[in-house]
Amino acid sequence: MVAVFLILWFIYFEVPQEEEDEGVMVSFGEVMEQGGGMPDAPQYMPSEAAEAASTPSAPSQEPLLTQEDESAAEAARVEKERQQKIEADRLAKERAEAERKAAEQRKKDAAVAKAQQMGALFGQTSSAEGANGQPGDNGKAINGNPLGHGSSGGNTWSLNGRTLIGELPKPTTDFNQAGIVVVTIIVDKNGNVVSARAGAKGTTISDETTRQIAVKAALKAKFNMVDHPNAVTGTITYYFKFK
């Protein structure tokens, strides 16, 4: 029994013990305040690195599109469209006015052409005013030139069924152009030139001053009187030459 006891005393079975899980450390705040630890020593940056960190970076060169910029762009677009509409309306009015004037001119030309035809029909009439519209002559007379054209002082005229009284008025000599100016005239029943416009077919002078000299001379021309109320149209051609 003693021998068994000694054997059991020196020889024993070791029972393995389970290892405890140590877990994971979690920080819930400042270690120094709660755990009493010491804070880490401050880290110092070199002066160049600190200066570079303190220097603000340059702003980007790319423009930023803000709401104010968008409003300005929209206002500019609206203004441009408004100006384009105003210009379009102006051009439309000008075209309408040109068409209206062209229609009036066509009507006037048609009336003048009709007056020419009527004047030709009344080439021979009885007039109490006398031959060629001169007062004091009574009875039957020829009130117009059957040819309806002629020359006077180096210039020419053409007026269907009418006769020139006297000579064609000559233009003033203060011109510096050489060429031809054809003036369209309208003559009333009393033989007065009531309208004159330079630039008819055959005109070679474009100078407006010289044209107006021809117009002023044409307005002074006198033709025979007729007893019908229709005005007639014709031309006076002036030949300008250097002296």
What range defines the domain where residue 194 resides?
A: 131-240
Of 30 and 202, the one with more pLDDT = 202
Other CB atoms within a 10 A radius of the CB of residue 163 amount to 21
240: its two tokens: 């300008």
Question: DSSP letter string over 34-65?
Answer: HH-PPPPPPP---HHHHHHHHSPPPPPSSPP-
Helix (H, G, I), strand (E, B) or coil at 92: helix
pLDDT in tens, 14-28: 555 555 555 556 555
Residue 150 lies in a domain: yes
pLDDT digits (tens, 9 = 90+) for 108-124: 777 766 655 554 444 43
Question: Which range scores top for mean pLDDT: 57-66, 70-79, 99-108, 187-196?
Answer: 187-196
pTM for the whole thing? 0.43
If you ran DSSP here, which 8-state letter would residue 157 be given? E
Copy the structure tokens of residue 62: 């790319």
pLDDT at 136 over 50: no
pLDDT at 135 over 50: no
Q: Tell whether 20 is covered by a domain.
A: no
Instruction: Judge whether 118 lies within some domain.
Output: no
- Distance between CA atoms of 167 and 157, rounded to whole angstroms? 10
Counting Cβ atoms within 10 Å, is residue 177 exposed (0-12), middle (13-18) or buried (19+)? Answer: middle
Q: Kindly report the CATH number assigned to the domain that includes residue 208.
A: 3.30.2420
Looking at the predicted structure, is the pLDDT value of residue 128 above 50?
no
The beta-strand segments (E) located in 76-187 are: 124-126, 140-142, 149-152, 155-159, 179-187
Instruction: Please report which helix (H) or strand (E) contains residue 7, including its range.
Output: helix 2-10
Please report the pLDDT score of residue 123 as a whole number.
42
Residues 156-174 have pLDDT tens digits of 999 988 999 999 999 998 8
**How many structural domains comprise the chain?**
1
Report yes or no: 229 and 189 within 8 Å, Cβ to Cβ.
Answer: yes
Decide if 11 is inside a domain: no
Q: Is residue 51 included in any domain, yes or no?
A: no
The answer to whether residue 89 sits within a structural domain is no
Q: Classify residue 161: in a domain, yes or no.
A: yes
Question: Do the domain assignments include residue 37?
Answer: no
Task: Tell me phi and psi for residue 59, to 5 degrees.
Answer: -65, 155
